[in-house]
Amino acid sequence: MDKFLTCIGLPLISFGPFRKAGVKRHLAALTIILLAMELPVIESQAEQAGLTSAGNPAEGKLEPFLGEPALDIQQVHKGGRFPNVVVAVDGSVLALWGGVMLRRSEDGGKTWGPEIMVGKGFMGGGAIVNETNGEILAFVEKHHPPAPLTVYRSKDNGKTWAQIEVVIKPDKNGHVPNMHMNEAGITLRHGKYAGRIMRPSRHYAGKNHRSKWPEHYTNAIYSDDGGKTWNTSEPFPANGTGEATMAELSDGRIYYNSRRHWAPEGENPRRRWTAWSNDGGATWKDLSICEVLPDGPQNTNYGCMGGLIRLPIKDRDILIYSNCDSPNGRNRGTAWASFDGGKSWPLKRLVHAGGFAYSSLNAGRPATKSEGWIYVHFEGGGSKVARFNLSWLLKGEQTGDGALPDWVTD
């Protein structure tokens, strides 16, 4: 016992009474010692919380998104449609496109590697980076949905892909949702549902036709076993919706923002529709219209897929949204910023004045080469990726919907 106490660096004198009291007290003292030794281990585990599987923080500081204002735009894919963009846990940026291929950037978006085929089919959107294990999931439908779905998985940050078997459970109406064409999915980081992966999905009501639009609705699928089985949320509380986005806030609530190409008489179909979840994406409530965010060109009720991301900044709820800011036609691609988790959108800036249709947003990861960058992958004469920082966006135009907070302007 003395040798053990000496080995772990505890003073022998403080255990003298125990040494005189027999074996049972020896064991009791040893238990207390071992419990004390466990405390640093527990603390070490607690310090690991909030890291991705790459060992980097899932959320970092505001400062990397500031600095000298910067914007650059590059052509990434030629021809085709349907963008998604995700950032792997190692910081590699993946621009997914069409039916279905991608290009990777390992230097934060400066240069792009060759095209990589994920799987033949029709872009399902909603690719997900599982921050817990680093795997990336891509959803590919055989043709324009409703259509058979194949899910592909990459274990090497998007370099190679293999088909996996998944089970997607129907929603409360008995409908198994379709995947096309939604914003990238997310890994939940906060609260009791941390580690859950989820993405927007939709019910097509048989086909994409004007007569069926009043029956369309969006929802979400979520998985707690790494993507093997998926539950389907309750429907978003508005019909006529499709091509949705979502973001988890720092308090664990989920903000849901959806395109809508049909609305009942008297409701506005040309602005974005929003709702919230307090239960990890199982249900949605507090439906409202976000009057400041356009749903595509304002000369049509049909809407347009938009992008959404919460910047990975600890204890801050900065959301970025992308879409057309156009009175006529899919052009004038613009980014809007919210600094209060979607309550207000006080700032916008034109990203690309030319053709700009569907878009997808993501953000760089702390402690990687992508850190501090915001990425918009959009349709505009093929596929383009715009890369900018928050400093560049802060030079934009104030919308009148709230004010910029002092902590971002000081």
Report the sign of the C-alpha dihedral through residues 224, 228, 233, 238, in that order: positive
State the Cα–Cα distance between residues 36 and 43, nearest whole angstrom: 12
State the Cα–Cα distance between residues 409 and 404, nearest whole angstrom: 7
Q: Which of 277, 274, 319, 128 is nearest to 191 (CA)?
A: 277
Q: Are strands 101-105 and 116-117 parallel, antiparallel or unpaired?
A: antiparallel
Amino acid present at 346: P
- Residue 154 burial (C-beta neighbours within 10 Å; 0-12, 13-18, 19+): buried
Which residues of the chain fall short of a pLDDT of 50? Answer: 1-24, 26-47
CB 91 within 8 A of CB 104: no
CA-based Rg of the chain, rounded to a whole angstrom? 24
- Residue 396 burial (C-beta neighbours within 10 Å; 0-12, 13-18, 19+): middle
pLDDT attached to residue 85? 98
pLDDT attached to residue 49? 59
Amino acid present at 206: G
